[in-house]
Amino acid sequence: MLLSYQAAASWFEEECSYWRKVLRCVVATVKLLSSLGLPLRGYDESSLSNRKEVWTKMLKATTIRNK
């Protein structure tokens, strides 16, 4: 199935917009943690861990705020 130029351009813009938002969240998280002198990683960063550290928690909080 071939997309029209307009449909392809629209899809491309949506993808770019999404990934810009993701990048902004990551950059905001790194800037905040570094300004506070906090580490980016913890011991266990898996999604099921109760011991997630600052990076994962801050990234989730930033992502929720920017939805």
Taking only Cα atoms into account, the Rg of the chain, rounded to an integer number of angstroms, comes to 17
Q: Which two tokens stand for residue 30?
A: 């790194």
Decide which of 65 and 37 is more confident: 37
Q: pLDDT tens, 16-43? A: 999 998 898 888 888 888 888 877 766 6
Within a domain: residue 15? Answer: no
* Residue 25 contacts residue 66 (beta carbons within 8 Å): yes
Residue 40 has what DSSP assignment?
S
Whether the model pTM is above 0.85 = no
Within a domain: residue 61? Answer: yes
Q: How many domains does the chain have?
A: 1
Within a domain: residue 14? Answer: no
Calpha distance 31→33 (Å, rounded): 6
Residue 58: other Cβ atoms inside 10 A: 19
Within a domain: residue 21? Answer: no
Calpha distance 67→64 (Å, rounded): 6
Residue ranges making up the domain that contains 62: 37-67
